[in-house]
Amino acid sequence: MQETIQKKLIGGSFVVSQIQASEVFIPEDFNEEQRMIAATCQDFLDKEILTRLNEIDSQKDPGLMPSLMDKAGELGLLGTSVPAEYGGFGMDFNTSMLVAEVIGGGFSFAVALSAHTGIGTLPIVYYGNAEQKAKYLPKLASGEWKASYCLTEPDSGSDANSGKTKAVLSVDGKHYVVTGQKMWITNGGFADIFIVFAKIEQDKNLTGFIIEKSFGGITMNEEEHKMGIKGSSTRQIFFNDCPVPVENMLSTRENGFKIAVNILNIGRIKLAAAAIGASKSVNKLSLQYSKERKQFGVAIGTFGAIQFKLAEQFVKTFVSESATYRAGQDIEDKQNELLAGGMDEIQAKLKGVEQFAIECAMLKVHASETLDYVVDEGVQIYGGMGYSADAPMERAYRDSRINRIFEGTNEINRLLSVGTLIKKAMKGEVDLIGPAMKIQQELMAIPDFGAAEPEGFMAKETKQLSQLKKAFLLVSGAAVQKLMTRIDEEQEIMMFLADMLIEIYVTESAILRTQKLSLSKGAEAVSLELAASKLYLHTSTEKIAFNGRQALQSFATGDELKMMMLGLKRFTKQEPINVTALRREIVKGLG
Q: What is the per-residue DSSP string for 141-180?
A: HHTSS-EEEE--BTTBSSSGGG---EEEE-TTSSEEEEEE
pLDDT at 529 over 80: yes
Which among 354, 407, 461, 529 is annotated as catalytic? 407
Give the per-residue pLDDT at 7: 61
Per-residue model confidence as pLDDT tens digits over 276-309: 999 999 999 999 999 999 999 999 999 999 999 9
Helix (H, G, I), strand (E, B) or coil at 584: helix
Indicate the helix (H) or strand (E) that contains 242: strand 234-245
Per-residue model confidence as pLDDT tens digits over 551-561: 999 999 999 99
Spatial separation of the C-alpha atoms in residues 195 and 519, rounded to whole Å: 47
Per-residue model confidence as pLDDT tens digits over 80-117: 999 999 999 999 999 999 999 999 999 999 999 999 99
Using N-to-C axis directions, what is the helix angle for 304-340 and 491-521, rounded to 10°?
A: 90
Per-residue model confidence as pLDDT tens digits over 181-197: 999 999 999 999 999 99
CA angle 542, 432, 467 (to 5 degrees): 30
Indicate the helix (H) or strand (E) that contains 350: helix 345-355
Spatial separation of the C-alpha atoms in residues 210 and 147, rounded to whole Å: 10
Give the per-residue pLDDT at 449: 65
Span 266-277, average pLDDT: 97
C-alpha dist (Å) from residue 425 to 338, 353, 421, 432, 585 = 22, 19, 6, 6, 42
Q: How confident is the model at residue 315 (pLDDT cuts 50, 70, 90)?
A: very high
CB 375 within 8 A of CB 324: no
pLDDT at 325 over 70: yes
CA torsion 70→212→100→255, rounded to 10°? -170
Helix (H, G, I), strand (E, B) or coil at 386: helix
Q: How confident is the model at residue 158 (pLDDT cuts 50, 70, 90)?
A: confident
Spatial separation of the C-alpha atoms in residues 412 and 263, rounded to whole Å: 16
Spatial separation of the C-alpha atoms in residues 297 and 201, rounded to whole Å: 73
Q: Which sequence spans correspond to the domains of the chain?
A: 29-146, 417-590
Cα–Cα nearest to 208, from 153, 149, 156, 145: 149
Spatial separation of the C-alpha atoms in residues 80 and 450, rounded to whole Å: 55
* C-alpha neighbours within 13 Å on the C-beta side of residue 86: 27
Q: How confident is the model at residue 46 (pLDDT cuts 50, 70, 90)?
A: very high
pTM of model > 0.85: yes
pLDDT at 582 over 80: yes
The answer for residues whose C-beta is within 8 angstroms of residue 534's C-beta and 6 or more apart is 461, 577, 582
CATH class given for the domain over 29-146: mainly alpha
Give the per-residue pLDDT at 450: 61
CA torsion 449→454→460→465, rounded to 10°? -80
Q: How confident is the model at residue 446 (pLDDT cuts 50, 70, 90)?
A: confident
Give the per-residue pLDDT at 451: 64
Helix (H, G, I), strand (E, B) or coil at 238: strand
Span 206-214, average pLDDT: 97
Q: Could you tell me how far CA 503 lies from the centroid of its own chain?
A: 14
What's the mean per-residue pLDDT of the chain?
95
Span 34-39, average pLDDT: 96
- Residue 93 sits at φ, ψ, to 5 deg, of -60, -45
pLDDT at 576 over 90: yes
User: What long-range pairs does 294-299 form, CB within 8 A, spacing at least 24?
Assistant: none
Is 48 marked active-site?
Answer: no
Q: Could you tell me how far CA 472 lies from the centroid of its own chain?
A: 22
Give the per-residue pLDDT at 4: 42
Give the per-residue pLDDT at 1: 43
Four-residue CA torsion sign, 9, 15, 17, 23: positive
pLDDT at 385 over 50: yes
Q: How confident is the model at residue 3 (pLDDT cuts 50, 70, 90)?
A: very low
CATH class given for the domain over 417-590: mainly alpha
Which phi-psi region, left, alpha or beta, contains residue 238 (left: φ > 0; alpha: ψ -120 to 50)?
beta
Per-residue model confidence as pLDDT tens digits over 403-444: 999 999 999 999 999 999 999 999 999 998 889 888 888 887
Per-residue model confidence as pLDDT tens digits over 125-152: 999 999 999 999 999 999 999 999 999 9
DSSP alpha helices (H): ranges in 384-458?
392-400, 410-427, 433-444
Spatial separation of the C-alpha atoms in residues 95 and 80, rounded to whole Å: 8
